[in-house]
């Protein structure tokens, strides 16, 4: 029986990955670095520091914390003004409320979580919010999902996770949870390791979620 649902944040409930990509690309281009398609994918799901470090080192550039901080602050400024909710996510959350325990599990910091939740009105729907601040090992490590299950006092097999990235799917499956992938930052063919794939939240409902527990 499915008792709890966890949502990733960036690219899953908030369409914020596009802002990550925009500010990072602008910074890199200003410094003579043109990102490849594969490098853009590095920005999705991984910790930002590691993504930026890999890109810079591949060009023989030295990474330092000031670079990451500069890009991060630009992201936060843009996030406050531009972030939007994923289509139909509020409708789904409203339908799920009262039927399942609902948690957030994100590699982002709590500061970004609070900005997004304040701007998009997510507070009322989530019973817990787990961010980078609350764990030692980020996704693709399953720690954040295992911690969420422990807080909810449910077995991992009683949980369903919504994710949009390969990193997130790996974390969910590693925790022993079912995973529904939404097509956003990755194409459907890249998300085949998930238990189900949807194009938008109109394609999922309580019955289908419960069906994953059989």
- Check residue 24 and give its pLDDT: 86
Question: Which residues, in sequence order, are CB contacts of 20 under 8 Å at separation 6+?
Answer: 10, 43, 44, 48, 75
For residue 79, the Cα-to-chain-centroid distance in whole angstroms is 15
Q: What is the mean pLDDT of residues 153-158?
A: 98
pLDDT averaged over every residue in the chain = 93
Q: For tokens 């594969």, what's the residue?
A: 38
Q: What is the mean pLDDT of residues 131-152?
A: 96
Continuous segment of H or E residues that includes residue 206: helix 206-211
- Check residue 7 and give its pLDDT: 98
- Check residue 49 and give its pLDDT: 75
Question: Which residues make up the CATH 3.40.50.1000 domain(s) of the chain?
Answer: 4-15+84-211
- Check residue 46 and give its pLDDT: 58
Superfamily of domain covering 4-15+84-211 = HAD superfamily/HAD-like (3.40.50.1000)
CA–CA dist 57, 152 (Å, integer):
41
CATH topology (fold) of 17-82: DNA polymerase; domain 1 (1.10.150)
CA–CA dist 115, 175 (Å, integer):
28
- Check residue 115 and give its pLDDT: 97
Could you report the per-residue pLDDT of 90-115, keeping only the tens digit for each? 999 999 999 999 999 999 999 999 99
Q: What is the mean pLDDT of residues 142-159?
A: 98
- Check residue 65 and give its pLDDT: 84
Residue 104 backbone zone (phi > 0: left; psi -120 to 50: alpha; other: beta): beta
Instruction: Provide the whole-model pTM.
Output: 0.91
What sign does the CA torsion over 172, 178, 174, 154 have? Answer: positive
- Check residue 42 and give its pLDDT: 63
Could you report the per-residue pLDDT of 2-57, keeping only the tens digit for each? 999 999 999 999 999 889 888 988 988 998 998 887 777 666 655 677 788 888 88
Q: What is the mean pLDDT of residues 123-138?
A: 96
The burial of 5, by beta-carbon neighbours within 10 Å (0-12 exposed, 13-18 middle, 19 or more buried), is given as buried
CA–CA dist 186, 165 (Å, integer):
6
């Amino acid at each position: 029986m499915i008792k709890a649902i966890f949502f990733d944040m960036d690219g899953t409930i908030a369409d914020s990955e596009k802002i990550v990509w925009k500010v990072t690309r602008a910074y890199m281009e200003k410094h003579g670095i043109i990102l490849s398609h594969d490098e853009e994918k590095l920005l999705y799901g991984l910790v930002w520091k590691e993504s930026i470090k890999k890109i810079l080192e591949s060009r023989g550039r030295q990474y330092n914390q000031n670079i990451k901080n500069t890009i991060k602050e630009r992201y936060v400024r843009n996030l406050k003004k531009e972030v939007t909710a994923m289509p139909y996510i509020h409708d789904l959350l409203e339908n799920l409320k009262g039927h399942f325990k609902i948690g957030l599990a994100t590699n982002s910091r709590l500061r970004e979580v609070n900005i997004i939740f304040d701007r998009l009105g997510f507070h009322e729907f989530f019973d817990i919010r787990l961010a980078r601040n609350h764990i030692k090992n980020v996704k693709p490590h399953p720690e954040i999902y295992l911690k969420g299950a422990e807080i909810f006092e449910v077995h991992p097999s009683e949980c369903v996770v919504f994710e949009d990235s390969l990193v997130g799917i790996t974390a969910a499956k590693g925790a022993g949870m079912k995973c529904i992938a939404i097509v956003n930052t990755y194409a459907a063919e890249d998300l085949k390791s998930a238990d189900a794939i949807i194009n938008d939240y109109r394609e999922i409902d309580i019955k289908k979620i419960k069906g994953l527990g059989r």
